[in-house]
């Protein structure tokens, strides 16, 4: 049992707070992705988990054991970084076996069994006797993954391991990684700034911004139920639209709404209110319909993965719209947009407001 508890951890560099009072836990046997933009503190948090950095305050527990001040070698975690440290003159098999060679608790037979297992799961058996220096970046990372998981530490940490791997090899690596995670059931924390990678790999995603965790949940929940404007904007390609809204007399009005919505009781007065809707959830039709508002097409539609991405303007508000079929009007023409009520989200001062 090795869950990870992060107990009010803060890390300051001089006057700058890189990780700001994070309190959360990663469940035993789950793959958790730390996702966020560059500079949000992902690597700093990861370095504290691995023991390469010490928190300014707070505690870190692995399976109930306080490891806050333990050096990396005493934490019994596997690690894979952007640039794996490999032994170029050793073979793939020898590199994977290396961390277990000095572990008296792993017999030679068991060590060999584990090496053979990861060679198969990672689909690198044909490379077993090749030297590291002759491998592509993608295959080197597979070996690094193999080495980190073969020793069967209960926790494995990955810091942007696919950054230097070319696109095709990246997909292979992610697929292999998923198989490893399903098979070996270790607790995995995986840092990435790539939302597709996080959505593919994670049991749960921790979304980070400016040193804090904004939301920690299953990928679909993060996507469908963002708790903040930042979450709606950061996840999705492109991210969510935010349209200004007015609140008066218990009603919400907005250029994207054909009729006012009732204001929820929890909505505070005087805040900056917006309506959020994902580009793929806005409907675009040729003529006026129930619940539609007129808009002008302001951008030529481009086809992406069998869908059409375009922009439409209502007054001063421009919306991204992603539709299944081509827009029903030429550039500069009039279309009609429908924001289905069940798809509309309300935000006040950047935070989601629910009824
Ligand atoms: N040793 C350090 N000294 C001073 N500032 C640091 C140090 N390490 C990190 N920082 C700062 O802390 C902030 C968070 O950095 P961190 O590397 O954790 O972010 P990140 O989310 O991993 O970003 P990236 O994806 O670019 O690596 C950044 O503003 C960075 O400049």
pLDDT, position 69: 95
User: Among the atoms of ligand 1, which is closest to the Cα of residue 193?
Assistant: 25
Q: How far is the centre of ligand 1, averaged over its atoms, from the C-alpha of 208 (Å)?
A: 13
Q: How far is the centre of ligand 1, averaged over its atoms, from the C-alpha of 158 (Å)?
A: 16
Q: For residue range 76-131, list pLDDT tens digits in order.
A: 888 888 777 788 888 999 999 988 888 888 899 999 999 998 898 888 899 999 99
Q: Which residues line ligand 1 (CB under 6 A)?
A: 13, 16, 18, 36, 38-44, 193
Residue 183 CB contacts under 8 Å (≥ 6 apart), including other chains: 121
For the whole prediction, is pTM greater than 0.80? yes
Residue 333 predicted with pLDDT over 90: yes
Positive or negative: CA dihedral 332, 334, 340, 341 = positive
- What 3-state class would DSSP assign to 218? coil
Q: How far is the centre of ligand 1, averaged over its atoms, from the C-alpha of 60 (Å)?
A: 19
Using only C-alpha atoms, what is the Rg of the chain? 24
Q: List the beta bridge partners of residue 34.
A: 191, 206
User: Among the atoms of ligand 1, which is closest to the Cα of residue 13?
Assistant: 4
Q: How far is the centre of ligand 1, averaged over its atoms, from the C-alpha of 22 (Å)?
A: 16
Torsion of CA 90, 96, 102, 107, to 10 degrees: -120
pLDDT, position 85: 77
**Rounded-to-integer distance, Cα 5 and Cα 23, Å:** 8
CA 221 to chain centre: 12
- How large a percentage of the chain has pLDDT more than 90? 68
Are the beta carbons of 1 and 28 closer than 8 angstroms? yes
Domains of the chain: 4-227 (3.40.50.300), 237-353 (2.40.50.140)
Residue 1 predicted with pLDDT over 70: no
Residue 137 predicted with pLDDT over 90: no
- What 3-state class would DSSP assign to 167? helix
Q: How far is the centre of ligand 1, averaged over its atoms, from the C-alpha of 99 (Å)?
A: 29
Mean pLDDT of the chain: 92
Q: What DSSP string runs through 238-273?
A: S--EEEE-EEETTEEE-TT-SS-EEPPTTPPTTS-E
- Which of 11, 14, 22, 39, when mutated, tests ligand 1's pocket best, judged by the most ligand atoms within 8 Å of its CB? 39
pLDDT, position 148: 86
Q: What value does the mean pLDDT take over residues 244-253?
A: 92
Give the best-scoring range by mean pLDDT among 73-87, 130-144, 216-230, 257-271: 216-230
Strands 65-66 and 57-62: antiparallel
Q: What are the backbone dihedrals phi and psi of residue 142, each rounded to the nearest 5 degrees, phi first?
A: -60, -40
Q: For residue range 21-51, list pLDDT tens digits in order.
A: 999 999 999 999 999 999 999 999 999 999 9
pLDDT, position 82: 78
């Amino acid at each position: 049992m090795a869950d990870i508890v992060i107990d009010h951890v803060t890390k300051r560099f001089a006057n700058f707070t890189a990780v700001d009072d994070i309190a959360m836990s990663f469940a035993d046997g789950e793959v958790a992705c730390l996702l966020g933009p560059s500079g949000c503190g992902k690597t700093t948090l990861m370095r504290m988990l691995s023991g390469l950095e010490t928190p300014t305050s707070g505690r870190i527990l692995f399976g109930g054991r306080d490891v806050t001040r333990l050096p990396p070698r005493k934490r019994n975690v596997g690690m894979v970084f952007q640039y794996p440290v490999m032994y170029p003159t050793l073979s793939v098999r020898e590199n994977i076996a290396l961390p277990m060679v000095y572990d008296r608790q792993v017999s030679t037979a068991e060590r060999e069994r584990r090496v053979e297992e990861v060679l198969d799961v990672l689909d690198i058996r044909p490379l077993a006797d090749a030297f590291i220096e002759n491998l592509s970046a993608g295959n080197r990372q597979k070996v690094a993954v193999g080495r980190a998981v073969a020793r069967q530490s209960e926790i494995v940490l990955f810091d942007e391991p696919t950054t230097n791997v070319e696109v095709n090899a990246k997909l292979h690596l992610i697929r292999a990684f998923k198989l490893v995670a399903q098979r070996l059931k270790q607790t995995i924390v995986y840092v990435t700034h790539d939302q597709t990678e996080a959505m593919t790999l994670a049991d749960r995603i921790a979304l980070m911004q400016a040193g804090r965790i904004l939301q920690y949940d299953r990928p679909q929940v993060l996507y469908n139920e963002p708790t903040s404007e930042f979450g709606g904007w950061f996840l999705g390609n492109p991210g969510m639209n935010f349209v200004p809204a007015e609140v008066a007399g218990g009603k919400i009005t907005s250029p994207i709404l054909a009729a006012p919505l009732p204001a929820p009781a929890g909505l505070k007065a005087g805040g900056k209110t917006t309506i959020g809707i994902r580009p793929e959830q806005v409907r675009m039709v040729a003529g006026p319909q129930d619940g539609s508002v007129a808009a002008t097409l302001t951008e030529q539609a481009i086809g992406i993965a069998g869908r059409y991405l375009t922009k439409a303007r209502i007054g001063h508000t421009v919306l991204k719209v992603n539709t299944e079929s081509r827009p029903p009007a030429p550039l500069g023409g009039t279309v009609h947009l429908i924001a289905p009520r069940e798809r509309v989200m309300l935000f006040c001062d950047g935070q989601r407001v629910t009824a």
